Structure 1
């Protein structure tokens, strides 16, 4: 069995996340794609939408796709969870031959700062989703989507044109009400 893990804040999930999920299913030889919304990104001090809200949005978008599992593992820990911890958790459950870890190209610059990075790089094959014309090293597998969007930009600018239609109304309402407070 081969698995891929795609974790993130998904605050909110946007079209690039949707494309990454679908491209991973098409281009990686995997039996399962595990999407893991964080409780809190280890590099952030707060979140916009609650973990349960973000989990619900991810479930709405992807839980009915073949091979996709939406996991509440990190949310249930009720704390920031390092990627290596989630990887080891799912490797113990599924005992995969290959475990891919999908990251955005924007993470490449700080990747070596990740908790236990030297161990993590021995446990996974990184798959990098291209973004913002950031160069992906040739030794890394790439999902060639090259989008120019971020959840931060959606939240800060309240521009919701990059939110998938299945969750658009909920996401728009949530962030507009949050910003009105």
Structure 2
């Protein structure tokens, strides 16, 4: 297999910025496949709003027509937080890629060196940073149309029953989310 891009995250819930990131990665990286990997639970978080299976199903639905995207349930099947190095090792064994690009939001740069087996991870992947708020140096940056939204903002708005937030959600999952307002 050729080069792969890996985009992991909570996707709690997935939103339109996630779609733009995927589109940009496909357009700007010379890859044969992009793997979307929803976490069971992010090791730096304590809970999730939507179940791991729901988030996985939504990603499959959102990207079902994108031939280069595959959604993996590897971390969800582990039923516990999974270190990124373990996921990358699994991908190496399953796909035998020539190169792995690991897509990361710039907010991860603050904790990146504290990630489990960081030194091994940086030998296995090329980090591609998704710029949000910072001017990122020393890393390959993914160009994309920045959308000022996060899953955290969406979750907070959903708890407040703020229907305006729905405009940031993909049409494929909108009816599921709207049920929260019933």
Structure 1 residue 147 displacement after superposition: 2.9
Give the CA deviation at 1:171. 2.2
Q: Unaligned 5+ residue runs, structure 1?
A: none
Q: In the alignment, is residue 171 of structure 1 matched against residue 170 of structure 2?
A: no
Matches of 2:72 and 2:22 in 1, distance apart? 14
For 1:135, the equivalent position in structure 2 comes to 135
CA contact 1:63–1:70 (8 Å) conserved in 2: no
2:148 maps to what in 1?
148
Q: So what's the TM-score if we normalise by structure 1?
A: 0.91
1:128-171 residue CA offsets vs partner (Å, 9 max, x unmatched):
1111x31111x211112333211010010222221111211212
**Residues 32 and 68 of structure 1 are in contact (CA less than 8 Å); yes or no, is this contact kept in structure 2?**
yes
CA RMSD of aligned residues (A): 1.3
Corresponding residue number in structure 1 for 2:111: 110
SS, match of residue 160 in structure 1: helix
Structure 2 residue runs without a partner (length 5+): 159-164
Residue-by-residue CA offset, 1:35-79 (whole Å, 9 max, x unaligned): 001111111111110000000110011132011111111100000
Q: Give 1:98's aligned residue.
A: 99
Shift of 1:119: 1.0
Q: Structure 2 length normalisation: TM-score?
A: 0.91
- SS of the counterpart of 1:30? coil
- Farther off after superposition, 74-83 or 155-164: 155-164
TM-superposed deviation, 1:94? 1.3
Count how many residue pairs are aligned between Structure 1 and Structure 2: 174
> How far does residue 110 in structure 1 lie from its aligned partner after superposition?
1.3
